C-alpha cells in the first residue's frame, strides 16, 4: 500500500536516480540538469571527473573519432602480487570500465580540423602510466609527426608510474618525452589538457610538455600530492596549492578553460596553429 501524507493523500513515489548530491558543495542537484551541463554542478561549478567516452563526445566532432591501437594489452613482466595478482587487478578494472587500459587514442576532428587525440581515464588504475599507456601515446606523437597534424592529449591520472610494471613503467616517461621533443622540432602543435587530477609521472613527462597547457577549473596538478608534501616538509601549504588556479597564477600553465568552452577554445588554437604551420617538406 502506498504511504499517505498528513492530509491523507497518497504520496507520489520518487523514482530512484533523479537527484544527486554534489561531492563538492553538497547541494542537491537534478541529475538531468547535471548531465546536460556536461557533468558540472550547476550550483558551484564543480567539474566532476568523466570517462573516455564522455570526453570524446564533449570534445570531438560527432562521429569523427576513429580509435587506433586498440589491440594493445598490458602484460605482467614482474609477476607482481600485492593484495591480488596484477593480471587479476587488470581484469577487474577492464570489466569495471570497459577499457583494456587507461589510455584510448585515435584520430578525430574538432570543428572540422583533423587531430590526433589521446585520453587517459582515471577510473582505470588511477590513470597510471604503464607500458601500454606510454606506447599508445608515443605512437600518437609519432603518427602526428608523420601526418603533420596537431595532437591533443587529455590527462586524468593520479597514479603516476604503474608500480606493478616497475622500470618498464618508468621508461614510458622518457619515451613519451622524446616523442614530444621530435614534434617540437618539426613544428607540429601539441595541446595538453590537464584535468582533475594530473599527477606523478604523467605530469613529469608528456602532460607538461605541450605547446599549450590548458586546465579545467580547480584541477589538481602536481607531482606528489599536497598531503604528502605537507607531511614531509612539516609546513602548511599555501591556500589552493596545486590547483589549476594556483598553477596559472604562477605561470605553470597557460590558461584555465571551463568544460563547456573547451571545444571552441581548442578549435581556435588549432585554427591558428594549422594556419601558421609551415608546409611539409
* 8 in any annotated domain: no
* 128 and 231 housed in the same domain: yes
Measured CA to CA in angstroms, residue 251 lies from 200, 244, 246, 248, 257 at distances of: 19, 10, 9, 5, 15
Domain limit, last residue, from 29, 46, 63? 46
Characterize 96-130 residue by residue with b for buried, 16 or more Cβ atoms within 10 angstroms of its Cβ, and e for exposed: ebebbbbbbbbbbbbeebbbbbbbbbbbbbbbbbb
239-277 pLDDT, tens digit per residue, is 889 999 999 999 999 999 999 999 999 999 999 998 855
* Judgement on whether residues 145 and 162 belong to the same structural domain of the protein: yes
Residue 276: what pLDDT? 59
Shared domain check, 230 and 257: yes
Same domain, 33 and 135: no
The answer on 103 and 174 residing in a single domain is: yes
Inside any domain, residue 281: no
Residue 42 is assigned to a structural domain of this protein: yes
Q: What is the mean pLDDT of each run of 10 residues along the chain (281 residues)?
A: 55 70 94 95 95 97 98 94 96 97 98 97 95 97 97 90 93 97 97 96 95 97 87 87 95 97 98 72 45
| Domain count of the fold of the chain | 2
Torsion-angle region of 267 (φ positive above 0: left; ψ -120 to 50: alpha; else: beta) = alpha
Q: Which residues contact 91 (CB under 8 A, 6 or more apart)?
A: none
Which CATH number does the domain housing residue 89 bear?
Answer: 3.90.226.10
Same domain, 151 and 266: yes
Full residue range of the structural domain in which residue 41 is found: 16-46
Tell me: do 80 and 201 sit in the same domain.
Answer: yes
In this structure, the answer to whether residues 22 and 85 fall within a common structural domain is: no
Q: Are residues 76 and 200 in the same domain?
A: yes
Domain match, 73 and 196 both: yes
Amino acid at each position: 500500500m502506498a504511504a499517505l501524507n498528513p492530509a491523507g493523500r497518497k504520496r507520489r513515489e520518487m523514482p530512484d536516480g533523479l537527484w544527486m548530491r554534489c561531492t563538492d558543495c553538497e547541494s542537491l542537484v537534478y541529475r538531468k540538469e547535471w548531465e546536460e551541463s556536461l557533468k558540472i554542478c550547476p550550483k558551484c561549478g564543480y567539474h566532476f571527473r568523466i570517462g573516455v567516452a564522455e570526453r570524446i563526445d564533449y570534445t570531438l566532432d560527432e562521429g569523427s573519432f576513429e580509435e587506433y591501437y586498440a589491440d594493445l594489452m598490458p602484460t605482467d613482466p614482474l609477476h607482481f602480487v600485492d593484495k591480488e595478482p596484477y593480471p587479476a587487478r587488470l581484469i577487474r578494472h577492464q570489466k569495471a570500465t570497459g577499457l583494456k587500459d587507461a589510455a584510448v587514442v585515435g584520430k578525430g576532428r574538432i570543428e572540422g580540423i583533423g587531430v590526433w587525440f589521446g585520453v587517459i581515464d582515471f577510473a582505470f588504475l588511477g590513470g597510471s602510466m604503464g607500458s601500454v599507456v606510454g606506447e599508445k601515446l608515443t605512437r600518437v606523437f609519432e603518427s602526428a609527426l608523420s601526418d603533420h597534424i596537431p595532437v591533443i592529449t587529455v590527462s586524468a591520472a593520479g597514479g603516476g608510474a604503474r608500480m606493478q610494471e616497475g622500470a618498464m613503467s618508468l621508461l614510458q616517461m622518457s619515451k613519451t618525452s622524446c616523442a614530444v621533443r621530435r614534434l617540437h622540432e618539426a613544428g607540429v602543435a601539441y595541446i595538453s589538457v590537464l584535468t582533475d587530477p594530473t599527477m606523478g609521472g604523467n605530469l613529469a613527462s608528456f602532460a607538461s610538455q605541450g605547446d599549450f597547457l590548458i586546465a579545467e577549473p580547480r584541477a589538481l596538478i602536481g607531482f606528489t600530492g599536497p598531503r604528502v608534501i605537507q607531511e614531509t616538509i612539516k609546513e602548511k601549504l599555501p591556500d589552493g596549492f596545486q590547483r589549476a588556479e594556483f598553477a596559472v597564477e604562477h605561470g605553470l600553465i597557460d590558461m584555465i578553460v571551463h568544460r563547456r568552452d573547451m571545444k571552441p577554445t581548442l578549435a581556435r588554437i588549432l585554427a591558428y596553429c594549422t594556419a601558421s604551420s609551415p608546409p611539409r617538406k
